[in-house]
Structure 1
Amino acid sequence: MFSKSPLALVIGAVLASPAVLAETAKTDEHMVVEGRDYGYKADTNTTAMRMEATQLETPGQVSVIDEQIIDEQRASTLGEVLKNDASISAGSKSTNRERFNLRGFELDSGSSYLRDGVQHWSHYRQPIELLERVEVLKGPAGLLYGESTPGGLVNMVSKKPTYETQVNVSQDIGSDSYTRTTADVSGSLNDDQTLRARLIVSQENQDSYRTRFDGTDVETDRFVGGLFVDYDINEDIMLSVHYDRTIEEGDLDNGSKIDTSTGKAIDPNTVNDQRFAQTDNDVANYGASVTANLNETWSVKTGISRQFYERQRTESNNTVYSNKNGGYGYKVSDRHDEWTFDTAYVDFTGDFDALGVNHRLLVGVNGLHYDYERLYDSGYTCVNATEAEAEAACGNGFDMPSNVSYKNDNEVSHSESQHYGLYVQDLVTLNEQWQVLGGVRFAYDKTTSSSNQEESYNNILPKFGVIYSPASNGSIYAVYSESFEPVGEITDQDDVNFGQSQDAKKGTLYEVGTKWELFDERLFISGAVFQITQSNIQVTEDVDPNANNGKETRTSQVGEQVHTGVELSATGYLTNALSLSASTMFLDAEYKNDPEREGKTPADVPEFTASIWSTYAFNNGTDVNLGVYHVGERYTESANTFKKDAYTRVDMGIAHTIKYDENLDFVARFNVENLFDTDYLEGGSTSGVVVGEGRNYMATLQVKY
């Protein structure tokens, strides 16, 4: 039963070779070639209703960025994937962490990202090499996922083991000494194919397109490894286990300052962080799940997972500060952080007829335990009597001072939280034209701060939707949903409401939309009009101390953010040779009931964005890609004092596939990003903006079996 299969021999060879583990690279499943018939079009998603559902029967907008696009663009960061959805705008990349806004609301690293449908701590650069696709669920998702921001969620779906043997190896070489080598091996480990595994390893090394102020290079090294195993216990029960590890050592680039008189970055090619400033990440994710068919009507899926993330970050830049103890010097900090994310869930799904209609019923519970510990130390170095003397002594850079170390901190800063939910959702099919969705979540959340203050919250989160299908290839829907985010008590002792507990921030969505499959179901188009309101936002106002017992401020929860927008998207084939993935969004986002920000727009939220990626396939095995990305003007801060210019970036690529035989392909690919060498600014503030990279290149060789 467990004789050595071709896959077992291949995996053994990979594991036995340190050289392969040290230099490995990224690609997609060979079966994606078959999937090319859909031209980026995804018929189903798993995020919106926590079970597989067609796009037409999903009351809401879910974009799916599949592995074919990821592979064609040679994406290695989540930002490079998400640029294909116009609903998402990029924020700051300070401390080497990507930040995003979805429908204008900033995504939270602890509650806005999922890996295979469960919460995932996203404080690091995500291992794209492990992903089959990325699903973007738009709008509040409190019903099924609990605490989350009102803009929506990003669900990163992992690659799965395959029944047939697949071996994909690729080598990327690009600008700024970029190299990435990836091996992806998958298939059955026994003759009856009940035991399947997938091994993925990748090594990436790169220099920055910017150089440090002292002339040294800014470098990043990253290793990714993942093992995924499926075992069919019998015909009705499957056990899945997974383990993946990401180890990254990266020099810091916290962005550039903007000259507000010109709108340009100051010294755009220069990194102002010291040569020892870097972030070292070590992230392990592991878990198990069981999927079982209980009978012809009911199935159950349950799983547990743990994410352990350890980080050391050292920071210092080339700016002189006034030392609180006298004189002037350079700030230096060193910190060690540990996060633990434990998740568990049980979902029962039933498909049955009752009371003359069909029900797809989901009943489930899920929970998350979050634990965080930190050690931190900081100080000044090169301290002199004047600012000029400090610059003269260390203005060309300096080494990490030995007296600053997180190990000097004898008191661990500790915080934790627990999040639990019971949810019921029913998709009722009344007839061929009408479907109704209804659901409710009962949520309990408890937080304990580093000062040992406890807060608990109980929330009831409903969702309602209706779907009308005027034809078999189209649907029109309306949906209402909610989200919430806990808010800690007021801690400012000079505030009139000091110590007062706060209600959770609440998000509400009203949306109508339509979806259609055209050209014999080869092109999917979708559109929506929506309004999301986030309420219970804290607003702090100055008060007269003489009339308020010496208190200087009053904090209340009267603030709101109202985002009204229109989205359009299209994915699939326009002709037999031309496929595309395109999207656009118009958004009016503003603060309300806030004296300081009334009518202003949140930072890094453009009014108009558009994205298109296309492929034209010639009959000789050559594909040509064209990508165009437009981002409108954005404010750098919520005070709306300065706007970054709009920009349009053009990317191109060409690939040629040589079919050696029916199972073996050789692919050569060449990509150019920012073809016209456009100058532009991405996310970030006037004190730390991301400078867009100029024209850059990547060449790739792939072997697919």
Structure 2
Amino acid sequence: MAYIQAKKHPTGARSAIASALLLALPAVALADNNTAQASAQQSGKLQQVTVTADAIEAEFIAEKASSPKQTQKLVDTPQTIVVVKKELFKQQAATTLSDTLRNTPGITMLMGENGNTATGDSIFMRGFDTQGNIYVDGIRDLGTISRDVFNTDQVEIAKGPAGVDNGRSTSSGYVNMGSKVAGLEDFISASAVVGSGSHKRVTADINQSLNIENAAIRVNLLRQDSGVPNRDLVENNSTGIATSLAFGLNTATRTTLNLLHMQQDNIQDGGLPTAGLAGYYSSSYVAAFPQNNGPVIVPVDRSNFYGSKSDFDHVLANMLTLRVEHDFADNVTLTNTSRYGVSTQDYELTGVNVLAFPAATKNDPSTWTVSRSRQGKDQKNQILINQSNLTAKFVVAGLQHTLASGVEFSYESQLNYSKAMPTGTTQVPANLYHPSTADVFAPLVFTGAKAEGSSDTAAIYALDTIDLAPEWQLSAGVRAEHYNTTTDNISIQGTATPQTIPVGTKVGSHERASDNLLSYKLGVNYKPTADGSVYLSYATSQLPPGGTSFQLSSSATNQNNPALQPQKGTNLELGTKWNLLNQKLFATAAVFESVNKNELVRDDVNTYVPVGEKTVKGAEFGLVGMPLDNLELSAGLALLDPKITRGSLYGTSPTQGATIQWTPKTTFTLWANYKLEKLSLGGGARYMDSVARSNNAAINPATASVVTVPDYWVMDAMASYEVNPTVTVQLNLYNLLDEEYIGSLNNGGSRYHQGTPRSAKLGVNVAF
């Protein structure tokens, strides 16, 4: 089978797509505005404008974000925010947060460092690691776990620095999962799905009003027992329950208590060797065959599993949230949210690394081997937080203000116990083409080392939107916060003598960082019509040392050294948003420049100084809704120019002028669904441009492995049929062309996770 080769796509093609979208917006907006003006001239017939039960709704469109801090509709919010609603990811039979994020361009999935394999939602967005910027209902969600969407109403992706919204964070933006909550409407829905890779999944969503007036309860259930298509032994098994109990609905005081319990029992995928893929390089092969006259390295079978049957990944997460809202007046609402959450992850997996060619049999590929590493983690994350937000509308000096202000107090912690192979032991390699789970696998034991870190934060913020005139809005926000991060680590000074368990001298360390952070954002909105806006905005963010991992370091070469200044991100954005076709179509376009400063770089005397700078310039376009009756679509295009504008010029790995790793220049995503009377036909396409795996400007493709991940197209399809008003059958087909591509790659280029192969899911959905 042919393997993917890197392709060059002319910039003219990208420009043509972008230009077409830009040119289309004013034309459609003008037509929509003319329709609105014609309707206004018939004001005497307003009684004829009605909403009927048979009206077709644009299910993919969200009016606004779920956070009370976002007081304006999306069309009036001067920032790129993509909202993926449950109606969209249900059509795709998506089950994880990572699945839903494929509906927005500019996001890449990571595999991890050379010595570790990433688990969970490891995402890269607009040039920066975003794994620490994932939120649930506006509150940071900790841990390196894979998040299920069985209890999610919509996923919101805010792009660009957002320090005012959430405090310390990277320059990429953030992802927020809006949870399902109880309401007064009674309903029951459920689904049962089977699919490729022994996939079996059952979910239920039950909402019931209570005998108590204005009270309701909602319960969401999940059970999944699943393998992974074309992956031997890998498993993703989940059990979840989420309850929402609400009182005082439709009254001035509303109280909601939410509980989430999630358990995962998986066998993690340690990856496949990149041997034989496009761009693969092996120094050991060159040493074994100096004249490059050895057998050709062919790719391994993508179903191969290089780990042990005893590999595991146990995740347990519990989250309790209490939200109380009170309306003091029609335009004044106080919201107080408290949450305690704890998640634990205990895993052992086997990763693959470099090839070896036995001297006596090097010409026989069946004897080639690949080294393996045994990796483990025992991690616990906790969060205790209280947020108070006051939203108010008022008039001052004849100007309308919409203010969201509040205070926030939080405690976040992370505890890691080190697991490793016993001192002096090694893991036997695997046969490259025929790995066996019958091999002897080195056990993992606790070393006695641990890493414990925590952050206390107190913050105050205010965001105000001022209506300067019917056509003009000014928005401004500021957040001031004080943080205190501490790290207490115990390391082990090892011994060269082989031991049953690791031994050595325990060495303790303590680091502390405390400072004040100030973030702000400004935006100007011009509204030529009520359904359109053109905006210019500027926003900042700060990420102090230890801001995501709570791990401070005394090393002068570590970005988490407490003596360093926070990394500072800025974003300048010019954009336009339009509600078109009587609110049935939402179109967006934006150009932006994001800059991240204060990164460590090496100078000419081999010391590290915080003067590094990364810049991502780009444009992003979005179209979601119903351009035609019965046709729904969601489309996005991102064009990025990611560069290290100030990096190191010295050492073996200079970075000055290099492209930013894991950041594709072009990404495109499309999903469309056409509804007939009882039959719905849907399909989608995704394009991911090639991405660099390293920031090294001097990396040599001739002597480094898989320097870039090749680009790829993936196409999916869906068909559903309404058997009766209660029962619907749905079939999803993935990767119709069976494109073989790299879904994620490790930093060293030695192993990868395959992209989803051609596969299918068949489900039955019931609702009544």
Superposition TM-score, scaled by structure 1 size: 0.85
Q: Would you say 1:254 and 2:270 are equivalent positions?
A: yes
CA deviations 1:290-334 (Å, max 9, x no partner) are 000012332100011011011111233466999xxxxx9965454
Matched with 1:630 is 687
Matched with 1:104 is 127
Call closer, same or farther: CA 1:266–1:557 in 2, change over 3 Å: farther
Q: Would you say 1:182 and 2:203 are equivalent positions?
A: yes
**Equivalent-residue separation in structure 1 for 2:579 and 2:331 (angstroms):** 29
**Equivalent-residue separation in structure 1 for 2:371 and 2:171 (angstroms):** 42
**Equivalent-residue separation in structure 1 for 2:352 and 2:667 (angstroms):** 35
Structure 2 counterpart of 1:563, which letter? V
Q: Would you say 1:424 and 2:487 are equivalent positions?
A: no
Call closer, same or farther: CA 1:185–1:490 in 2, change over 3 Å: closer
Q: Would you say 1:646 and 2:667 are equivalent positions?
A: no
Matched with 2:445 is 405
User: Once the 2 structures are TM-superposed, how far is the Cα of residue 259 of structure 1 from its aligned partner?
Assistant: 3.8
Q: Would you say 1:598 and 2:661 are equivalent positions?
A: no
Q: Would you say 1:587 and 2:640 are equivalent positions?
A: yes
**Does the aligned pair in 2 maintain the 1:50–1:117 contact within 8 Å?**
no
**Equivalent-residue separation in structure 1 for 2:96 and 2:54 (angstroms):** 25
Aligned length: 639
Matched with 1:237 is 253
Call closer, same or farther: CA 1:75–1:459 in 2, change over 3 Å: same
Call closer, same or farther: CA 1:183–1:329 in 2, change over 3 Å: closer
Matched with 2:157 is 136
What SS does the aligned partner of 1:79 have?
helix
Call closer, same or farther: CA 1:36–1:172 in 2, change over 3 Å: farther
**Does the aligned pair in 2 maintain the 1:497–1:554 contact within 8 Å?**
no
CA deviations 1:13-43 (Å, max 9, x no partner) are xxxxxxxxxxxxxxxxxxxx99961141112
Matched with 2:140 is 119
CA deviations 1:91-129 (Å, max 9, x no partner) are 2273432211222222033xx111111111152111200
Structure 1 counterpart of 2:688, which letter? V
Matched with 2:519 is 461
Which consecutive residues of structure 2, in runs of 5 or more, have no partner in the other structure? Answer: 1-52, 281-298, 357-369, 489-508, 547-551, 702-706
Matched with 2:366 is none
Structure 1 counterpart of 2:686, which letter? Y
Matched with 1:357 is 399
**Equivalent-residue separation in structure 2 for 1:497 and 1:631 (angstroms):** 30
**Does the aligned pair in 2 maintain the 1:275–1:399 contact within 8 Å?**
no
Call closer, same or farther: CA 1:656–1:559 in 2, change over 3 Å: same
Matched with 1:278 is 312
CA deviations 1:235-268 (Å, max 9, x no partner) are 2101110111111011121322324773476443
Call closer, same or farther: CA 1:529–1:334 in 2, change over 3 Å: closer
**Does the aligned pair in 1 maintain the 2:393–2:400 contact within 8 Å?**
yes
**Does the aligned pair in 2 maintain the 1:39–1:580 contact within 8 Å?**
no
**Does the aligned pair in 1 maintain the 2:344–2:381 contact within 8 Å?**
yes
233, 239, 243: which one pairs with 1:223? Answer: 239
**Does the aligned pair in 1 maintain the 2:428–2:440 contact within 8 Å?**
no
What SS does the aligned partner of 1:71 have?
helix
1:691-702 alignment to 2 at 5 Å?
691-702=754-765
User: Once the 2 structures are TM-superposed, how far is the Cα of residue 398 of structure 1 from its aligned partner?
Assistant: 3.8
229, 252, 272: which one pairs with 1:209? Answer: 229
**Equivalent-residue separation in structure 2 for 1:497 and 1:414 (angstroms):** 18
CA deviations 1:635-655 (Å, max 9, x no partner) are 122236511211111100000
1:69-84 alignment to 2 at 5 Å?
69-84=88-103
Matched with 1:567 is 620
User: Once the 2 structures are TM-superposed, how far is the Cα of residue 445 of structure 1 from its aligned partner?
Assistant: 1.4
**Equivalent-residue separation in structure 2 for 1:54 and 1:35 (angstroms):** 22
Matched with 2:670 is 612
**Equivalent-residue separation in structure 1 for 2:414 and 2:588 (angstroms):** 41
1:80-99 alignment to 2 at 5 Å?
80-92=99-111, 94-99=117-122
57, 61, 74: which one pairs with 1:55? Answer: 74
- Identify which range, 328-337 or 429-438, moves more after superposition: 328-337
Structure 2 counterpart of 1:704, which letter? A
User: Once the 2 structures are TM-superposed, how far is the Cα of residue 390 of structure 1 from its aligned partner?
Assistant: 12
Which consecutive residues of structure 1, in runs of 5 or more, have no partner in the other structure? Answer: 1-32, 323-327, 544-552
**Does the aligned pair in 1 maintain the 2:378–2:417 contact within 8 Å?**
yes
**Equivalent-residue separation in structure 1 for 2:560 and 2:754 (angstroms):** 41
Structure 2 counterpart of 1:379, which letter? M
Call closer, same or farther: CA 1:603–1:700 in 2, change over 3 Å: same
Superposition TM-score, scaled by structure 2 size: 0.79
What SS does the aligned partner of 2:272 have?
coil
Call closer, same or farther: CA 1:438–1:34 in 2, change over 3 Å: farther
**Equivalent-residue separation in structure 2 for 1:261 and 1:219 (angstroms):** 25
Structure 2 counterpart of 1:696, which letter? S
Structure 1 counterpart of 2:638, which letter? M
Call closer, same or farther: CA 1:420–1:221 in 2, change over 3 Å: same
TM-align CA RMSD: 2.8
Matched with 2:385 is 343
Call closer, same or farther: CA 1:211–1:699 in 2, change over 3 Å: closer
What SS does the aligned partner of 1:521 have?
coil
Q: Of Structure 1 and Structure 2, which has the larger fraction of its residues in strand?
A: 1
User: Once the 2 structures are TM-superposed, how far is the Cα of residue 414 of structure 1 from its aligned partner?
Assistant: 1.6
User: Once the 2 structures are TM-superposed, how far is the Cα of residue 208 of structure 1 from its aligned partner?
Assistant: 2.2
74, 87, 92: which one pairs with 1:68? Answer: 87
User: Once the 2 structures are TM-superposed, how far is the Cα of residue 554 of structure 1 from its aligned partner?
Assistant: 0.8
CA deviations 1:162-182 (Å, max 9, x no partner) are 212110011000001100011
User: Once the 2 structures are TM-superposed, how far is the Cα of residue 44 of structure 1 from its aligned partner?
Assistant: 1.6
Matched with 1:28 is none
1:133-532 alignment to 2 at 5 Å?
133-190=154-211, 192=213, 194-212=214-232, 217-232=233-248, 235-259=251-275, 262-263=278-279, 266-317=300-351, 331-380=373-422, 397-398=438-439, 404-406=444-446, 409=448, 412-450=450-488, 451-487=509-545, 491-492=554-555, 501-532=563-594
**Does the aligned pair in 2 maintain the 1:274–1:317 contact within 8 Å?**
no
Matched with 1:535 is 597
**Equivalent-residue separation in structure 2 for 1:441 and 1:626 (angstroms):** 43
Call closer, same or farther: CA 1:498–1:684 in 2, change over 3 Å: closer
What SS does the aligned partner of 2:131 have?
coil
CA deviations 1:645-676 (Å, max 9, x no partner) are 1111110000011334xxxx210000100011
**Equivalent-residue separation in structure 2 for 1:145 and 1:118 (angstroms):** 8
**Equivalent-residue separation in structure 2 for 1:118 and 1:356 (angstroms):** 35
Call closer, same or farther: CA 1:226–1:514 in 2, change over 3 Å: same
Call closer, same or farther: CA 1:186–1:498 in 2, change over 3 Å: closer
Structure 1 counterpart of 2:122, which letter? R
Call closer, same or farther: CA 1:567–1:329 in 2, change over 3 Å: closer
**Equivalent-residue separation in structure 2 for 1:229 and 1:294 (angstroms):** 23
User: Once the 2 structures are TM-superposed, how far is the Cα of residue 473 of structure 1 from its aligned partner?
Assistant: 1.6
**Equivalent-residue separation in structure 1 for 2:602 and 2:98 (angstroms):** 34
What SS does the aligned partner of 2:329 have?
coil
**Does the aligned pair in 2 maintain the 1:171–1:181 contact within 8 Å?**
yes
CA deviations 1:478-532 (Å, max 9, x no partner) are 0000001112676237x79997710000000100000111112211100000000
Call closer, same or farther: CA 1:292–1:597 in 2, change over 3 Å: same
**Equivalent-residue separation in structure 1 for 2:451 and 2:106 (angstroms):** 37
**Equivalent-residue separation in structure 2 for 1:313 and 1:35 (angstroms):** 50
**Equivalent-residue separation in structure 2 for 1:584 and 1:320 (angstroms):** 37
Structure 1 counterpart of 2:307, which letter? D
